[in-house]
Amino acid sequence: MDCDSGMASWDHHPSDGNSEDLKQNLRQSEEAREELARQLEEETRLKDLFQARVSQLESKLQDHEKRLRSLESKMATLPEEPQPQQVVDVTEDLVGQGQGEYEDSQGSDIREVKAGESSKFGLDPATIHGKLETQVDMDKGKILIKYNGDQEVVNTVGRFVGKSHTALGDVLISGGRMYWEVDVRKSNHYRTGVVSKTVKRDKWIGDTKKSWCIRNNDGEVSARHNYVDSGLRLVRNPPVIGVLLDYDSAKVQFFDADSGKHLQTYDVDVTEPLRPAFQVNEGCVVVNSAVFPAKMEELLSAMDAAGKFNILFLQ
């Protein structure tokens, strides 16, 4: 064997094996490339979905933040419901008496009334909270009291202040009976009843021992005295509240004046004169004091005939 033929013979045999190995490696590389491409495509798809979900959540979060800011802004304009006193205020009587002395010494137009006298009354300007707008028609015995949160407040001695958006009638009731009605259909946040002459001017009606009322707190109507609520069994909220005060019997009764339904009776403190009181925290109310004595006698007769209540009023 010569050298040339020997070399040719040596080169021929391994070339077949190398070719098969290269083809196999090529196939494996192509398969690996295709798998990597598939994985990259899947990862890209998932990334797009994730980014879309993140954008969606960010948009929802922004919407909720806007809504929360809007609600917080609205809540800031609403009167706050006072919390029950945790400590007895030992200065209440002294401060209240000072305010009563101020009213008397200033010679305001407050009238002291007893049984048999005219029941029509207006409002005492010295007590009207600065956030209230009022109109009085003495001839008709009608009073409009409207809450206006945009009004500027000028506080003076004797005027209700803070969140107690209250006005008092211009009468001091020191005997006999008096009846009046309050149309509350245009307010969903009110308190109406009677207070002692020296009630504190920064307290809500019904939140002292010197005040008794019916209140509507955002649609929930109840009777209230000295921070204590008394639930009322109501089929519907009364559109007109009737207030019947008998000073001689030391009692005040509240009615649904539209249906004649009795709502609540309280024993009242008659160691000093009492006054009609009206607190309006939203909307407006209309007071009618020209319904005595006909409407009062009508209510008493109906209740007495039904035999449902023990009437303690002097005839």
pLDDT tens track for 199-221 = 999 999 999 999 999 999 999 99
Q: What is the pLDDT of residue 313?
A: 33
Percent of the chain with pLDDT strictly greater than 70: 73
Assign 103 a pLDDT band (cuts: 50, 70, 90): very low
**Rounded-to-integer distance, Cα 199 and Cα 274, Å:** 10
Is 83's pLDDT higher than 90? no
Residue showing tokens 């009167």: 79
**Rounded-to-integer distance, Cα 26 and Cα 39, Å:** 20
Is 314's pLDDT higher than 60? no
Strands 171-173 and 111-113: parallel
Q: What is the pLDDT of residue 90?
A: 34
The residue among 69, 294, 291, 46 whose CA lies nearest residue 182 is: 291
Q: What residues form DSSP beta bridges with 25?
A: none
pLDDT tens track for 125-154 = 999 999 999 999 998 999 999 999 888 878
Is residue 264 within 8 Å of residue 206, measured between CB atoms?
Answer: no
Residue showing tokens 């649609």: 219
Assign 196 a pLDDT band (cuts: 50, 70, 90): very high
Is residue 152 within 8 Å of residue 195, measured between CB atoms?
Answer: no
**What topology is assigned to 107-306 in CATH?**
Jelly Rolls (2.60.120)
What's the angle, vertex CA 178, arms to CA 174 and CA 183, rounded to 5? 130
Is residue 249 within 8 Å of residue 310, measured between CB atoms?
Answer: no
Is residue 285 within 8 Å of residue 183, measured between CB atoms?
Answer: yes
Is 248's pLDDT higher than 50? yes
Task: Give me the mean pLDDT over the 20-28 stretch.
Answer: 82
Task: Give me the mean pLDDT over the 267-271 stretch.
Answer: 95
Is 52's pLDDT higher than 80? yes
Q: What is the pLDDT of residue 62?
A: 84
pTM, to two decimals: 0.64
pLDDT tens track for 62-79 = 887 888 887 777 666 666
Is 85's pLDDT higher than 50? no
Domain ranges of the chain: 16-77, 107-306
Q: What is the pLDDT of residue 7?
A: 43
Cα 110 off chain centre by: 32
Cα 26 off chain centre by: 79
97 or 26: which carries more pLDDT confidence? Answer: 26
Q: What is the pLDDT of residue 297?
A: 64
Alpha helices in the chain (DSSP H): 3-77, 92-105, 294-306
* Lowest-confidence pick of 7-11, 59-63, 204-208: 7-11
Is residue 284 within 8 Å of residue 224, measured between CB atoms?
Answer: no
Residue showing tokens 């001839």: 139
Task: Give me the mean pLDDT over the 103-108 stretch.
Answer: 43
Please give the span between the terminal C-alpha atoms of the chain, in angstroms, as a whole number.
154
Q: What is the pLDDT of residue 292?
A: 65
What 8-state DSSP symbol labels residue 123? B
What 8-state DSSP symbol labels residue 126? G
